[in-house]
Amino acid sequence: MNRAFGKVFKSETGVEYGVIRKAKEPFPEVLSTLNVLAEDDCGNYFVLRHEAVCFWDHETGENAFLSESVDDFVSRCSAPEEVELEASQIESAWIDPEFAKQFGIKSKP
């Protein structure tokens, strides 16, 4: 599973899930009966259900089937594609205030 960390999983329909990282406890109580494999940076988890890898969505509480096995799951993971935006495409952005301080940027209260 370590080979998937830092990558995204792309389903057969082209939907991307990730960026995948090592899961840190504590996990949501509803996942206590499942084997948590990894998490993404949005609070969702990749879990093992009867040999299959599923995506547990923290907003809906639903599991979506992703792959029949961990090996198949890992083989379908790849580096995330870089996204470039024009300045006119950016409506807003949040910057961690501690990170902004490193560059002399004052954050709004």
For tokens 């006119």, the residue is: 88
Q: What pTM did the predictor assign? A: 0.77
Residue 107 forms beta bridges with which residues? none
Closest to 3 in 3D by CA, of 109, 108, 76: 76
| CA 19/CA 25 separation, integer angstroms | 18
- Structural domain spans, the chain: 2-80
Q: What mean pLDDT is predicted for residues 94-106? A: 85
pLDDT value at 19 more than 90 = yes
Query: For 42-94, what is each residue's pLDDT tens digit?
Result: 899 999 999 999 999 999 999 999 999 999 999 999 999 888 999 999 998 88
